[in-house]
Amino acid sequence: MKQKDKNQKLTGAEGFHTYYSGIFGERWESLKKSLFLEPDHVQFNAGGKEPYFLDSASVRCAVSLPLKDAESILDMCAAPGGKTLVLAASMEQRANLLSNERSADRKLRLSHTVENCLPEEISSRVTVICKDGAVLCLSKGNQFDRILLDAPCSSERHVIQDPNYLKDWSPSRIKTLSMAQWALLSSGWRMLKEGGYLLYSTCALNPSENDGVIEKLLKKFKDVEICEPAVSSDVQAFCSVKLVEGEQTKYGRHVLPDSAGGSGPLYFCLLRKKSVCSVEELSMV
């Protein structure tokens, strides 16, 4: 039976479990159980009127984006705002952060987070907009020193806990999402300055939305460098938490809740736009 025919039969709850069992093998049972546990939420207090609670893996992800000497920073898919807070609290005083969210309703929540969870001296340097990140490059090419793209994804932790979502699940959703993620990532890459860093992340379990999307970027662009996602910002003043490292994948790291105390799932990969000399230029040296 062809893979396409197999995928057509993998629908609903049974198809979901069969699909992910095929990816994780014997580990799937323990991983599946961990998805029903209470997420490892921690308090992030940046000095605003109220604190913010987010998954500790999200903190680990956001602090992987190097912010030293960065003046222009973009959070492409920023709602509800947790990673925006980490970036804003960590960026240098001369830096400005543009936080974008395509959904008007989610943009309102993002604005609330920025206004209420950051002190005025920081929130004044954060601008919230409502645009489609996939076409944002048409007006903002090569404008940003740093970009965080936390792309919309399968979010299996939510799917498996909701019978309605689980009933309608099929592999075609993964294919649709990976195409949307690629559109966002290729747009983000066009907005990144030479020498800049882009951090790509999802809360997806399946590799098609993680390393698979990075693979497309490497094939399309010759100026992509995979970097080690080290902890680049100290956020201990805002959030007292032991940051998880995540498991190594082909290109990034994957925090999985069965081995990370309930954190995740969260995949992240750090990329740098390097200078690429043409063959003609090299031959002239």
State the catalytic residues.
203
Q: How far apart are CA 62 and CA 80, in angstroms?
A: 14
Q: Closest Cα to residue 172, out of 154, 184, 160?
A: 154
In sequence order, the 6+-apart residues with CB closer than 8 A to the CB of 162 are none
**Identity at 237, one-letter amino acid code:** A
Strands (E), 108-213: 126-129, 144-150, 192-202
Q: Closest Cα to residue 130, out of 147, 115, 149, 108?
A: 108
Structure tokens that stand for 274 in this block: 């390097």
ω into residue 39 within 30 of 0, thus cis?
no
Structure tokens that stand for 115 in this block: 């206004």
The H or E element that residue 218 is part of is: helix 211-220
Q: Are 246 and 60 in contact (CB under 8 A)?
A: yes
177-to-124, 171, 224, 246 alpha-carbon distances in Å: 34, 10, 22, 23
Q: Are 126 and 97 in contact (CB under 8 A)?
A: yes
Q: What is the dihedral of CA 189, 244, 62, 198, to 10 degrees?
A: -10
Q: Are 51 and 21 in contact (CB under 8 A)?
A: no
Q: How far apart are CA 143 and CA 100, in angstroms?
A: 14
